[in-house]
Structure 1
Amino acid sequence: MAPTLSRLRPATEVEIMDRLATGRRICAPDMSGLQRFAFAVLAAILPLLAAAQSAEPYPSRPVKLLVPYAPGGATDIIARQLAAKLEQALGQPFVVDNRAGASGNIALEAEAKAAPDGYTLLVGNVSTNAINESTFAGVLQTQPSRDLVGISKLVEIPHVLVAATSFPPNTVAEVIEWAKKNPGKLNYASAGIGTYPHLDMLRFAKAAGIDVIHIPYKGGAGQMLPALMSGEVQLSFINLASTIEQVKAGRIKAIATTMPTRLPELPSVPTMAEQGFPGIGTNAWQALFAPAATPKPILDKLHAAVVAALSKPEMKEALSKQMMTVSLSGSPQAFTEEVRAETRTWAQVVSEHKVKIE
């Protein structure tokens, strides 16, 4: 008769694993096949149970969301909206940390150097994560396409060519005419050297045959808007999420939109294409990023939480009122590859206009 389990000599986990590895029997030679199977299963799951007990669920403490610009711009707006929803979904605070400066590179480098544990994330955009790699190749201490991975695209935002109310022109043709009559006097704002508002204006100026003076603002739209409203600068390509209220209130004026067709919110404002400059102007995206070595389960959990939060009809409606269209990625891997491809495209634009920061 086979011995009962109570009569068997207990074996330690180390003994179990060692004896299984060498093919020896764990206990009595006449142990039944069922008993041997039970011990084998126990030996296999013990390490897994120990690991599960020692591993902390993610997230188990507050998560920091780095924002590369000052409060008030589109990147900051979506970061704060997202932080609140992720906190509700994942049960830990998601804290926005504005790290303005150096055209977004301060936050970009901080993210690349952060521990790849999911507790320091970056809400970046097309400038920081697709353009800066080329424009700041000589000084940037990180290579975003290599050192960061995407979690998901969040929103896309239409852009407008806006002007100070004190600036006389009201159309693209009038802007060009004014610039040619007043050489060296037309200035424009951007979120920094090499950002898409800078590159878009260079493309426009080249196509129009005019000279423009660049006034960069390290704080992004949060600093560009006061400069436009005060008349400190005359012109800018800027996202509509940051400017729609000021345009409607008459604090700045819209010259053109960069969308293929007119926007319902600004039906009287013609597109760049209508005014003779198709393809000029960027409709930018905002997205969530993490350090490249962040474990896949954490990336997937964040992606799922982002998709769930931004897919809700009430969230889409709230963002739509701020001129943000929800645009989610299929997976972190797919979005990472998308960003890398766009980085290569912008590298060609940067090279064409010889934009470099030494």
Structure 2
Amino acid sequence: MRHVTGILLLSLSCSAGTVFAQDPAASYPAKTVRLMLGPGPGSVADGLTRVMAAALTEVWGQQVVVDNRSGAGNTIAPAIVAKSAPDGYTLHRCGVGDSISPALYKNLSYAHLRDFALLARIGLTPNILVVHPSLPPKNMKEFIAFAKANPGKLDYGATGAGSSPQLSFELFKSMAGIDVIHIAYKSAALAQQDLMAGRVTSQMTNLPNHIDTVRRGKVRALGITTMKRSAKLPEVPTIAEQGVPGFDVSSWYGMCAPIGVDKAIQKKIEVDSLKLLASPQIKQRLDALGIDVEPLDSTAFAEFFRVETDKWAKAVRAAGIQPR
């Protein structure tokens, strides 16, 4: 009997060992992980990615390195990740631009909704619509009425056609039924300078860019682009609550991996990322960058990504931008 019991225990032990050995997440990561993104060093997106990389390095005990690949509308990084070995050692710090690019480029070598596991949303940065103080409208309803009374006479400064700020304003125009002319700039900072100088009348850009200028009276804030007000400027109402119901635009950030990565590894990255985002220290670091930590798990993030992709496709069509 003891001999049979011994065999049974040995068998169970071997089975458990085999299950453990077959779980790739148990030993992941065993080497350096590369976290790729399109936006360049110094951007808010880059800062967020470096906060997450440092935190994951500490949790995993393996280095997570940030790899910026700017250019081509931020499509270089996801193209590289999509073609990489699906082993979990090359990840994509995806973002709002990845839900816009399918409508802008006809011949992308990848599709996020097909070729990527959408693991977790990290958070978002609201945009804000501001105008030069000399403009008569004092709130969003007055701005819309003024624009309707003066079609084609107002303008807004934003980076080139197809950029997130430009498409955000075009979506706003479409939903509000107004005609405001786009003035293209090489950077949001240049558009901001011309706005404060009165050379353009309005701008829609990331909220942190204008917190100080709003408080100093250099520009007038008319509306926040998300569905809820920002704690950073709580006195500024949302655009949605001022006559454009359903308007909801932000720069958002997530974690993605090639679709072929083992499900157990996908789950580990998702769970560890979400745990970090519940940490007060991580929240504080991201808040300092102007990011609202609003995480979503993989199921909710995938649905959010699909909704965003559809929304931006409609915005591109409304703006009359031809895919290239």
TM-score, structure 1 length as denominator?
0.72
Q: Which runs of structure 2 are paired with 1:1-358 in the superposition (5 Å)?
A: 33-34=4-5, 37=8, 57-128=27-98, 130-136=99-105, 138-163=106-131, 171=138, 173=142, 177=146, 183=152, 186-190=155-159, 193-206=161-174, 207-215=176-184, 217=186, 223-229=187-193, 235-245=202-212, 247-248=214-215, 254-260=221-227, 262-273=229-240, 276-280=243-247, 282-330=249-297, 332-358=298-324
Structure 2 counterpart SS, 1:328? strand
Say whether the 8 Å CA contact 1:200–1:280 is kept in structure 2: no
Q: 1:294-319 CA deviation, whole Å, 9 max, x = no partner? A: 11121111112111211012332443
Q: 1:228-250 CA deviation, whole Å, 9 max, x = no partner? A: 23558664322224543565566
Say whether the 8 Å CA contact 2:214–2:221 is kept in structure 1: yes
The whole-number CA distance in structure 2 between the counterparts of 1:158 and 1:55 is 35
- 1:290: Cα distance to partner? 0.8
Q: 1:91 to 1:246 in 2, by over 3 A?
A: farther
Unmatched segments (≥5 aa) in structure 1: 3-31, 218-222
Q: 1:206-243 CA deviation, whole Å, 9 max, x = no partner? A: 435324125265xxxxx422442355866432222454
Q: 1:125-145 CA deviation, whole Å, 9 max, x = no partner? A: 2231x2222232x13221111
Say whether the 8 Å CA contact 1:147–1:291 is kept in structure 2: yes
- 1:189: Cα distance to partner? 0.9
Which has the higher Rg, Structure 1 or Structure 2?
A: 1
Q: 1:306 to 1:42 in 2, by over 3 A?
A: closer
Which segment drifts farther, 37-46 or 140-149?
37-46
Alignment length (residue pairs): 318
The whole-number CA distance in structure 2 between the counterparts of 1:44 and 1:274 is 60
Q: CA RMSD in A?
A: 3.8
The whole-number CA distance in structure 2 between the counterparts of 1:261 and 1:36 is 63
Q: Specify the alignment match of 1:20 in structure 2.
A: none
The whole-number CA distance in structure 2 between the counterparts of 1:55 and 1:323 is 33
Q: 1:175 to 1:304 in 2, by over 3 A?
A: same
The whole-number CA distance in structure 2 between the counterparts of 1:141 and 1:216 is 29
- 1:88: Cα distance to partner? 1.3
Q: Specify the alignment match of 1:13 in structure 2.
A: none
TM-score, structure 2 length as denominator?
0.78
The whole-number CA distance in structure 2 between the counterparts of 1:154 and 1:294 is 20
Percentage of matched positions with identical amino acids: 28
Q: 1:81 to 1:170 in 2, by over 3 A?
A: farther
- 1:153: Cα distance to partner? 0.6
Q: Specify the alignment match of 1:11 in structure 2.
A: none
Q: 1:227-285 CA deviation, whole Å, 9 max, x = no partner? A: 42355866432222454356556676534322456544325544434654444451342
The whole-number CA distance in structure 1 between the counterparts of 2:314 and 2:93 is 25
Q: Specify the alignment match of 1:220 in structure 2.
A: none
Unmatched segments (≥5 aa) in structure 2: none
Q: 1:325 to 1:42 in 2, by over 3 A?
A: closer
